[in-house]
Structure 1
């Protein structure tokens, strides 16, 4: 629809042209035809001038509109980016809140389970004390036997709560270790050992001992290795070297590895509360890796705890890596895809292919200190032991010297550029202390028995009956104080 201003301008131009024609006819004496020609010429000129001026005005208006549109688009993009950042921040807060809530729920559930176990222990302790009091009353009524009261305290079976407390004896700090070693060294027939392992698994009598791995030469704790122990129905300790072969033969190693992974993840979560840089090494049997059913169960558990993969190292024997089959290779690849790293222990020689190991996800190799410092290894292997750490480092593998028992070995290993060390010199495998896992700080000096001052006396922590010794918080600490003196 034509605008009113355009119509008004057209009328004005016609009037101006007509006025010009009349003026020329009246003043100049032009004829009517000539005056009409002059009027039409003037009208044509005015029309052209108006069209050109309107085109220029419209072009300038379009340019301004385009500039305004560009500025509006830029402002809209900035607002969208700002909304995206705010949305990402809100999502991060929601995820952190959900994680914190789940951690609190797990802590509450653990506290409740601790309280339940402590109540059971307290009931057992009270019942045992009542039996002892009844036996003492009967003994007081009857004539006391001669020469029997002295050994009685050593042969009377103590309740579970009492057995966890270290016995005070006038001996050095490590006097409890020989007794444990004696129990572990006691030979058992194969059927009896298999039955003991089955009962220990069914009753969840599995203990996790932690031995620190320290940085050299600072001796700051960087990792912990989880060492597995089983306890029979008499609370005698069965070492891993004694029951692993029997468990593999009896098809029980899958359950043991799954239980050990569960305990190690729990320990790692507690350690990371104090120190985010700490890690845990967990031993896995070759039989579990080769069994699809057992491995699937462990893989589901590790998938659920994928967030802890950078701090959770799965440890395998060197002999297993040298005879990998298609199934084992596929299972290792599945673990590596989920971010888990591997370690190799039980190294018997230094014929190592770092490139192949790095491709399979190996990031740590534990070599006995005696093997590294053995002069014969320089001729038996393709590389001198002093250059092994640099060679492994080129492929992202760290060398850990284990079984270090003397300061002289530490000095020699520093010349080999070894970054990590493990052994009785720093700390022996210890159960968790009552207030939680072992300290996450640096390793403390050791005495002649290899017992660091920073570690308390052993406190069993394997089965649910002993699990409350992992930490002492809130009501659990009060119940433990009530049950402990018994």
Structure 2
């Protein structure tokens, strides 16, 4: 292209020289000089235009390169942020959660496969298959009714009025060290002959809500006093306080309960209300609102006599439930009654929602070993420690004389 332009410039210069020689009567030397000057001028202008065009192209290339470098720098910054975020992620915790989920999923898949195999075996045509299936079907579980209390309601009212109701404590220990994790407040009734009656002997099953509210109110006062004095002594303690729908359903009692927790917010996290699972499941809307208010004050709940672990643990945790109490012997002998998970997986699964399993009724060392193998570390029962009186300096009133067969439990 440039050669063609230079050719046109040369032809134009020759034309200018010829015009000067023939038209303007220049001498040959002047005509040649005019042609040379014209040609040089055209070449200079052309070179200048080409240089300006090259400089503009170079500037645009530099701008494009700058934009690319800025984009690369921004991408590097984003990559650095992602690397920092990945460095801050605790991969070990996530891997443990994934491993736990995979373990639970594997157990469920294995159980489903076994169930499908069992169904296929039963579905095979046999001579008396239907009769055998009917014969092999397990009988429905018998409904266990709690025995009626030995002490009549009127005698209980009289004993409570005479201030013969006392509270003992029974430790809840953590395995394998067997250190006390908390203490159950156990109501006991001092009889006229000096003997002590347990809760099952006097707590009314039907009716007597006023007495039940009075007993639970005394327990709350005892628990607050013990927790405050223990915290002052530098030994914070967790106390499990009996609670029932008789208190939650009464406006005056529930209001007094909320006021007491509000006035003792410092020790509220150490107060856990033990309520029967059947009562918890049958709470009305108003009673549920009181339970939510208790949880907002910092206290928690422990469900007693849990019959099945096929529940929404996340929902229970959101409602303030901190522990589920199961019967140790039944869980060891018949774990399938409680859950479809493997016995060694259910404790880890429940713990993911900050809820713990508490095995009660421990009666032998063998049960402790088997529960440890299943990952259950909170236990309670007569083999661990029996209920005993509270230390005198932590009681509300002056200590009453204890019977010789009771030993003191201190924390």
Q: TM-score, normalised by structure 1?
A: 0.49
Shift in Å, 1:428: 0.6
User: Using the alignment, how far apart are the partners of 1:353 and 1:186 within structure 2?
Assistant: 32
Aligned length: 256
Name 1:415's counterpart in structure 2.
Answer: 373
Which residues in structure 2 correspond to 1:183-202 (within 5 Å)? 188=150, 193-202=152-161
Name the counterpart of 1:428: 386
Residue in structure 2 matched with residue 209 of structure 1 by the alignment: 168
Computed over aligned residues only, the root mean square deviation of the Cα atoms, in angstroms, reads: 2.6
Work out whether 1:284 is the aligned partner of 2:243. Answer: yes
Rounded Cα–Cα distance in structure 2 between residues aligned with 1:380 and 1:365: 12
User: Structure 1 pair 246/381, CA: closer, same or farther in 2 (3 Å)?
Assistant: closer
The question of whether the paired residues in 2 share the 8 Å contact of 1:349 and 1:371 is answered with no
1:337 counterpart = 2:337: no
2:284 alignment partner in structure 1? 325
* Structure 1 residue 296: Cα displacement: 1.4
341, 350, 357: which is aligned to 1:383?
341
Q: What's 2:58 paired with?
A: none
Gap regions ≥5 residues in structure 2: 1-146, 403-411
Aligned to 1:264: 223
**Which structure would you say has the larger RCO, counting Cα contacts within 8 Å and 6 or more residues apart?**
1
* Matches for 1:122-133 after TM superposition, within 5 Å: none
Give the whole-Å Cα distance in 1 for the aligned partners of 2:203 and 2:337.
34
Alpha-carbon distance between aligned partners in 2 of 1:423 and 1:188, rounded to the nearest angstrom: 23
Q: Please give the alpha-carbon distance, in whole angstroms, between the structure 2 residues aligned to 1:385 and 1:322.
A: 24
Partner Cα distance (1:305, 1:379) in 2: 40
Equivalent of 2:351 in 380, 386, 393: 393
Residues 243 and 274, structure 2, Cα contact 8 Å, conserved in 1: yes
Aligned to 1:253: 212
Q: Distance in 1 between matches of 2:260 and 2:353?
A: 29
Structure 1 unaligned segments of length 5 or more: list them: 1-184, 438-460, 470-486
Instruction: Flag the 1:359–1:199 CA change in 2: closer, same or farther, 3 A.
Output: same
- Partners of 1:311 and 1:383 in 2: CA distance: 31
Q: Could you say what secondary structure the match of 1:404 adopts?
A: coil
Query: Is residue 194–residue 246 contact of structure 1 (8 Å, CA) maintained in 2?
Result: no
Name the structure 1 match of 2:274.
315
Instruction: Give the 5 Å matches for 1:136-175.
Output: none
Report the alpha carbon displacement of residue 239 of structure 1 after superposing the two structures with TM.
2.0
Shift of 1:331: 0.7
Cα distance in structure 2, aligned partners of 1:234 and 1:379: 43
The 1:466–1:333 alpha-carbon spacing in structure 2 relative to 1, beyond 3 Å, is same
Structure showing greater radius of gyration is: 2
Q: Partner of 2:203: helix, strand, or coil?
A: helix
Following TM superposition, by how much is the alpha carbon of 1:196 offset from its aligned partner in structure 2, in angstroms?
Answer: 1.9
SS at match of 1:411: helix
Aligned equivalents of 2:370 and 2:164: distance in 1?
41
Separation in structure 2 between the aligned mates of residue 315 and residue 250 of structure 1, nearest angstrom: 17
Q: 1:186 to 1:294 in 2, by over 3 A?
A: closer
The separation in 2 between residues aligned to 1:433 and 1:345, in whole angstroms, is: 26
